[in-house]
Every structure is written in C-alpha cells, then in structure tokens.
C-alpha cells in the first residue's frame, strides 16, 4: 500500500528501528526509487552516443585542505550535449564529490549520497568518518555495476577534510572503479576521458604546501591541457563566460570559489598560454 492509499500516513517501516543507511532502507521498501536499478533487459547495452557523458574532474591537496575541480562539458558521441554542466557538488560540510560518466545517473547518485550522509548523522547522532563515507560511496557504485556493464557507468571522485589526520594531511582524495573498488590517492588525481592529460599536468605542477591561488591555477592549467587533447573535455568559454568549477574543503568546510575569482584566475591562465601554449614547466 502506498502512502497516498493510506491517506497520506507514513507506513510502519518509517517507525520501525532498522539500518542507519538510507540506501538500504530504500532497497528494502522502495527499490524502484533507487537510481541503480537496471534500465534495460539483460544483454542490452546503451548506445555509446545516446546519453550525455561528463568529463573531466580532478582533485589536489594544498596547504589548507583539498581542492576539487571540473570542466563544464557533457557530450553525446561527437555532439556537445551541455556546455555548463556542474560536476562538482558538496556531499556534506566537509566532503565533496565530482563525477565523470553518465550524467543522469551521476546526478541521481550524488543526490542519494547527500541524503545518505545526512540520514546517517540524524539516526546515529554523529557524522560518518571520512573513511566510512568513502566506503559507503563505494557500496553505492557497486550497486550500479549492472548499469555500468550495460554501458551506463558512473565514476565519482571523492574529497574531504579529515580533522583526525596529522597536520598537512587533512585533505584526502579517493577514487573508485566501476565495480566499487576504493583507492586513496596521494597529492592529486583526475577522472574522465581527459584524465591522463590532466594528471600529466598536475604531475609537473603539483608541489607540497601550495597556496589556494597556486593550487587553483594548477587545476585550471590541468583542465586546459585535458581540453587541449580530449575533445570531450571543455575548455574555458570566455565569450559565454562559462568557466570551470573550482571548490575547496578546509577546516571551515566546503566553499565553491566565487565566479569572479574563477574568472580572474582563468583569464590569467589563458594569458599565460599566449606566450607558452603548452603550459608552464615543472617547478624545480
């Protein structure tokens, strides 16, 4: 019986003690609401250009915490499906998630993950540890394996500020594979079709103890390199004033860099490219 059939009254399952996981609650009582259910019969795969896909996202540790950024393009095969997609989202006050892959499923997964963390904190009275948040997201990705095998993969990138970590190591980065494999990355990482070029740029630009401005410029340079060699990654669109999304997580929490700051840094980076089209060299 649905809630409407009960005259708007909640069912008994809402008042019965159980799991602190909202995802497990849905799987038990409303499995049809989960974004991880298979959309096609077994053996059927999605056409590679039938659904918007998003790339590229990256993260790097810096002096005050961790930075996470992404380009704005979504593609459907050789078509640009969206120019201003937001791929970086806060998961809670001290955690952020970005995604590459099937856009519709990724956005639903991000929303479900946000509710998952909030539900746990309300039930348990304390927030999850960062390690637990990473494992919980890995479990959600594993539930999506059936859709990934049908061609609808979602590959998130998780970052967070860990108050329990030693000084200088509070900014942490986690990556995943489509089967839910969990991997903690040191210093920096990137996901998506442009990730090999973004990681190459970060490898030469990253150094310990970077300031917020230097880290943001490194992130923008890495996204520019990704767009330079990967047609699915969008570069800064100066004429439309569409710039990458850059966010930070520090002891004070999640903060998306204001658009004027991102625009100013982007214009500085583009101007640097006029004299050095291949980007800056490695820091000695």
- In this prediction, residue 146 carries a pLDDT of 81
Higher pLDDT, 145 or 191: 191
Catalytic member of 19, 23, 36, 55: 55
Segment 88-114, tens digit of pLDDT: 999 999 999 999 999 999 999 999 999
Answer whether residue 25 shows pLDDT above 50.
yes
What pLDDT is attached to residue 34? 64
pTM: 0.85
DSSP structure class, residue 129: P
What's the pLDDT score for residue 255? 98
Of 45-59, 172-186, 268-282, give the lowest mean pLDDT range.
Answer: 45-59
Let me know: does 3 contact 9? Beta carbons within 8 Å.
yes
Tokens standing for residue 34? 């989960």
Nearest alpha-carbon partner for 226 in 48, 67, 71: 71
Query: Is 55 assigned a catalytic role?
Result: yes
Q: Scanning the structure block, which residue is given the tokens 């494992």?
A: 135
At 107 the pLDDT is 94
Proportion of the chain above pLDDT 70, given as a percent? 83
DSSP 61-120: EETTEEEEEE---EEETTEEEESS---EEEEETTEEEEEEEEHHHHHHHHHHHHHHHHHH
Residue range 275-284: mean pLDDT, rounded: 82
Is pLDDT of 7 > 60?
Answer: no
Q: Tens of pLDDT along 159-179?
A: 999 999 999 899 999 999 999
What is the Cα–Cα distance from 161 to 134, expressed in whole angstroms? 12
Among candidates 42, 6, 175, which has minimal Cα distance to 98? 175
Give the angle 184-253-225 at the CA atoms, nearest 5°: 55
Q: For residue 143, name the pLDDT band (cuts at 50, 70, 90).
A: confident
């Amino acid at each position: 019986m649905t809630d409407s059939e009960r005259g708007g009254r909640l069912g008994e399952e809402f008042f019965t003690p159980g799991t602190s996981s909202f995802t497990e609650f849905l799987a038990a009582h409303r499995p049809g609401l989960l974004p991880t259910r298979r959309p096609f019969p077994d053996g059927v795969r999605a056409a590679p250009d039938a659904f918007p896909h998003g790339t590229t996202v990256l993260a790097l540790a810096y002096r005050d915490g961790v930075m996470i950024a992404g380009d704005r393009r979504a593609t459907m095969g050789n078509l640009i499906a969206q120019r201003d997609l937001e791929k970086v989202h806060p998961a809670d006050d001290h955690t952020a998630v970005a995604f590459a892959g099937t856009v519709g499923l990724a956005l639903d997964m991000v929303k479900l993950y946000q509710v998952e963390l909030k539900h746990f904190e309300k039930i348990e009275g304390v927030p999850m540890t960062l390690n637990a948040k990473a494992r919980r997201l890995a479990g959600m990705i594993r539930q999506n394996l059936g859709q990934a095998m049908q061609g609808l993969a979602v590959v998130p990138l998780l970052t967070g500020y860990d108050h329990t970590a030693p000084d200088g190591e509070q900014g942490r980065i986690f990556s995943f594979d489509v089967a839910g494999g969990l991997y903690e990355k040191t210093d920096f990482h990137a996901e998506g079709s442009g990730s090999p070029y973004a990681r190459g740029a970060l490898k030469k630009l990253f150094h310990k103890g970077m300031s917020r401005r230097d880290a943001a410029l490194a992130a923008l340079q890495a996204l520019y390199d990704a767009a330079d060699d990967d047609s699915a990654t969008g570069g800064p669109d100066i004429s439309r004033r569409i710039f990458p999304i850059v966010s930070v997580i520090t002891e004070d929490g999640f903060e998306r860099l204001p658009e004027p700051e991102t625009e100013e840094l982007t214009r500085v980076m583009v101007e640097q490219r006029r004299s050095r089209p291949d980007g800056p060299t490695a820091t000695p």
